Structure 1
Amino acid sequence: MTRFRTDRESAGRALVDDAGVVIEAAAAMAARFGSGSRLLAFGRDGGASDAAHVAVEFTHPVIVGKPALPALCLGGEPSLLPVLGRPEDIAVGIRPAGDDLAVARGLGMLTVALTVNAACPHADHVLAAASDDALVAREIHVTMYHLLWELVHVFLEADG
């Protein structure tokens, strides 16, 4: 239990240290949403259910009276990105594998990756959970995408 608590606290502190990265991603996403984009979320290695959660969150406005943001869940199928994606859209990959986001980036989509201790060469914004523990990493990812959701709405409200 002590190892888990230490890992969780360490990952949480790393997220606080990376707050600027989350804010930059949210600002870029808000700019895209402000231009009529949609969010397409997918996940690997258990991230498919988180992708569904991301899509649901973005379709619910944080600020009362504001419109929902268009979001689709691709489940565990990033292969749908070239079929459904448009250049102005946002691709969010949770634990993406290899070049999952390469096609989206090639289309001109904004790419955001929620990873575990890893770089993602095809992502414009990489939000990494600093933990090797799958449960801790998932908790950090849930926190990250809730921050993105709230910040995107706040940035859109400030611009509108």
Structure 2
Amino acid sequence: MSQVLDRVRDAAGMALVADVGAVIAAASDMSGRFRSGGRLLAFGRAEAAADAAHVAVEFTHPVIVGKRALPALCLGADPSLLPVLGRPQDIAVGVRPAAGDLAAARALGMLTVALTANEECREADHVLSARSEDPLVAREIHITVYHLLWELVHVFQEAAA
């Protein structure tokens, strides 16, 4: 069983390596929104709400000395708060969003980022897919992606300073 899981993880990891350009593009766009006073609003349905909370914590509580805190809120499992709290300069991050979850945010002009696992998400500006049928492996890839986003956003922030 361990060898099967290792192959599944390896395949998902290699898919992420192949998608690194998409992660960099999302981080660059996110950095621009933060520079213009934007905030990150994260949500996730069901168990993905915990990941949304983790995303918000990553941006508001940097663990590396010298990295600045960036404004982020967790909406829990309630994307209906996006049009209530969102502003055009903000960033909406949906972890495993359902169809339509990011539509209102995009209509407001918010930057939309979807962390998916093989699901389509047409209303997102950036779709970062874990490309794994195994939900635990997909979650591992999502955790890796949002840590990469955090790090790369800071790289872009420092380059613009």
Structure 2 unmatched ranges of 5 or more: none
For normalisation by structure 1, the TM-score amounts to: 0.97
The alignment partner of 1:68 has SS state of coil
Superposed displacement of residue 129, structure 1: 0.4
For normalisation by structure 2, the TM-score amounts to: 0.96
Aligned partners of 1:47 and 1:142: how far apart in 2?
Answer: 11
Superposed displacement of residue 44, structure 1: 1.6
Superposed displacement of residue 62, structure 1: 5.9
Superposed displacement of residue 42, structure 1: 0.1
Q: Which residue of 2 aligns with 1:12?
A: 13
Aligned partners of 1:65 and 1:133: how far apart in 2?
Answer: 37
- C-alpha offsets along residues 62-103 of structure 1, whole Å, 9 cap, x if unaligned? 653343100000000001001110111000000000100000
Identical aligned residues as a percent: 71
Residue type of the alignment partner of 1:74:
L
Q: Which residue of 1 aligns with 2:108?
A: 107
Aligned partners of 1:66 and 1:133: how far apart in 2?
Answer: 34
Taking only aligned residues, the RMSD between alpha carbons, in angstroms, comes to 1.1
Q: Which residue of 2 aligns with 1:140?
A: 141
Q: Which residue of 2 aligns with 1:41?
A: 42
Structure 1 unmatched ranges of 5 or more: none
Q: Judge conservation of contact 1:43–1:49 (CA < 8 Å) in 2.
A: yes
> How many residues end up aligned between the 2 structures?
160
Superposed displacement of residue 45, structure 1: 3.6
Residue type of the alignment partner of 2:124:
A
Superposed displacement of residue 5, structure 1: 1.2
Aligned partners of 2:90 and 2:63: how far apart in 1?
Answer: 20
The 5 Å alignment of 1:29-68 reads 29-61=30-62, 64-68=65-69
Q: Judge conservation of contact 1:54–1:145 (CA < 8 Å) in 2.
A: yes
Q: Which residue of 2 aligns with 1:98?
A: 99
Superposed displacement of residue 3, structure 1: 1.8
- C-alpha offsets along residues 37-56 of structure 1, whole Å, 9 cap, x if unaligned? 00000002411000000000
Superposed displacement of residue 4, structure 1: 1.3
Q: Judge conservation of contact 1:40–1:74 (CA < 8 Å) in 2.
A: yes
Superposed displacement of residue 148, structure 1: 0.2
Q: Which residue of 2 aligns with 1:24?
A: 25
Aligned partners of 1:113 and 1:66: how far apart in 2?
Answer: 24
The alignment partner of 1:96 has SS state of coil
